[in-house]
Amino acid sequence: MLDGSELDSSELGIPVDWSGLFRPDIHFRQAVMRSLFKILIPCLLLLCLCIGCKEDKVDKLSQLQKEANELMDQHQWRAALACYIKALSTKPDSAKLHYQIGMIDRRLGNMDLAIKHLEKAVTLSPDYTDALLELGYCYLATNRYKNAEVMARAILKADPENIQARLLIGDRRAFTGSYKQALSLIKTLLKRHPDNINLWLRRGDLNLVLDRRKEAEDAYRHCISIAPMRPIVWLSWASFCRIKGKLSEAENALRELQSWNRTI
């Protein structure tokens, strides 16, 4: 084995620098760094591009949702629907977007499309109460009564006190002609929720169907006393007055509705 003493510089006639054997070669290091830069720089550029695209998508989605919400406030349902559909192309797995589209389709009478999007929303988010409820009423409107009750039961499983789900069950009974059973359920719910306007409206409607006009009138008048700013209250009262043949009172109700709309 050789060591430093056997290769003395005076014997060889040349200087020997042993430290160079233990230093990395500078050219090798430079070559490695150049290779790394060639790999890393394109990766960093691609990463920045992806982040930028993601931010652009988020901005576009937010803008479309904002525009759609404004159009809904103006009751421009078809224009709002178009915006939500564009937003959905940006985020196809959004349960909320499917719900919004389904809700507008239901309002426009596109029941098959409404059910399609609402079922997708529930698939993506099984505990989405609003979507379950909206889907339940779509099922009612298309005579799928058992499916409607399944939606109501799904809501009640997560929230046993959910009044909207119980109201859906009552409406399901009314849709199948069990008006007295539905009215009995509404009266039971009113004992626990005496100020719920939707329950009082259903009480009026069911009494009217059963030709109990005095009870219906009392229910509608109570609605006016507790929720005079709700348009549906004045519309219901106007319809009741027309059925009774009190056309002047119906016209007064519609004028009252218009005055509240200007105030809101």
| Residue pLDDT, tens place only, 29-75 | 555 556 655 666 666 556 555 555 445 556 777 888 888 888 888 88
pLDDT at 34: 61
Other CB atoms within a 10 A radius of the CB of residue 235 amount to 14
Mean pLDDT of the chain: 84
Tell me the three state secondary structure of residue 209: helix
Instruction: Report CA torsion sign: 73, 77, 83, 85.
Output: positive
Cβ-contact 236, 205 below 8 angstroms: yes
- Quick one: pLDDT at residue 30? 57
Q: What is the biggest distance separating any 2 CA atoms in the chain, rounded to whole angstroms?
A: 131
**pLDDT for 220 beyond 70:** yes
Question: Residue 59: CA atoms inside 13 Å, Cβ hemisphere, count?
Answer: 6
Please give the pLDDT value at position 49: 52
The SS3 call for residue 169 is: helix
Average pLDDT over residues 239-251: 92
Q: What is the pLDDT of residue 233?
A: 93
Burial of 169 (0-12, 13-18, 19+ CB in 10 A): buried
22 DSSP assignment: G
Amino acid, res. 114: A
Is 2's pLDDT higher than 60? no
- Percentage of residues of the chain with pLDDT beyond 90: 63
- Closest to 130 in 3D by CA, of 82, 107, 98, 174: 98
- pLDDT higher than 80, residue 18: no
What pLDDT does 11 receive? 47
DSSP reduced 3-state for 128: coil
Structural domains of the chain, ranges and CATH numbers in brackets: 196-264 (1.25.40.10)
pLDDT score recorded for residue 50: 52
Q: Model pTM greater than 0.75?
A: no
Band of the pLDDT at 9, cuts 50, 70, 90?
very low
DSSP state of 195: T
Q: Is 182 exposed, middle or buried (0-12, 13-18, 19+ CB in 10 A)?
A: buried
Neighbours of 195 (CB within 10 A): 10
Model confidence over 114-162: pLDDT tens digits?
A: 999 999 999 999 999 999 999 999 999 999 999 999 999 999 998 998 9
CA dist 181 and 202 (Å) reads 13
